[in-house]
Each structure stands twice: as C-alpha cells, then as structure tokens.
Amino acid sequence: MDLYSIIQAAFLKGYLETTLDWVLGIPNVCLKDMISFVRTTDPDNFLNYGITNSQMALRTLALILNTFYESENDVIEAMRSRIACPLYTIGLHLTFCKHGSKGGDKSIPMSF
C-alpha cells in the first residue's frame, strides 16, 4: 500500500494505528505518530514538500537536525547511510535560538 492510500484510509476509515514499516530507523511507527502535514488527503501537498526538500538536501554541504543523537540515533544513522553530506544534531531549536547571534546573522537558513 502506498503512502497516499494509507493516509486516505486513515482519515476515511480511522486507521491511524496503521504501522508504517518502511520508515528508516523507526520500526513499527504508526501513522498517528507522524507529523500532521504528512497526514494530508491531498497528495500534492506532501509530494511537493518532499520533492523540494529532497532536492535541496542533495545540494547542501551539511544537514543540521533539531534533535538529540542520543534519543534518535537509529534514525540519524539511517539518514547518514543515505546522504553524502555531514549530518549534525544540535538539540532543540528553541535552545539554539536563545544562545544564537543577537546580530541577526542569517548565514544559516532554517527550514521548518
């Protein structure tokens, strides 16, 4: 079953407990555990977001994730095995903002 079909079934038939066994590094994750923009019934929303961000990730010099390696090491290692650039974890975004540059340095763009 493809992602769009799973999402549509989840909304129409209440299958948010559907297990997604193809998510790298996260065995037995359920659809209800995914962030809300993934649970759309419009395939173009998710598809366009995925295509745009995947293309940007292939051209980047490094990826910075707002998470902790210790809490998501399986996912991070799965991502590292699929990308060519270095991948760094910096913890929570809000913590980084509190200690970041006060001069408004925009040299590191953030994608949410």
pLDDT digits (tens, 9 = 90+) for 58-83: 788 888 888 888 888 888 898 888 88
Whether pLDDT at 48 is above 70 = yes
Give me the chain's average pLDDT, please.
Answer: 72
- State the pLDDT at residue 98: 53
Q: Where would I find the beta strands (DSSP E) of the chain?
A: 19-20, 29-30, 63-65, 87-89
CA atoms within 13 A on the CB side of 107: 5
- State the pLDDT at residue 3: 67
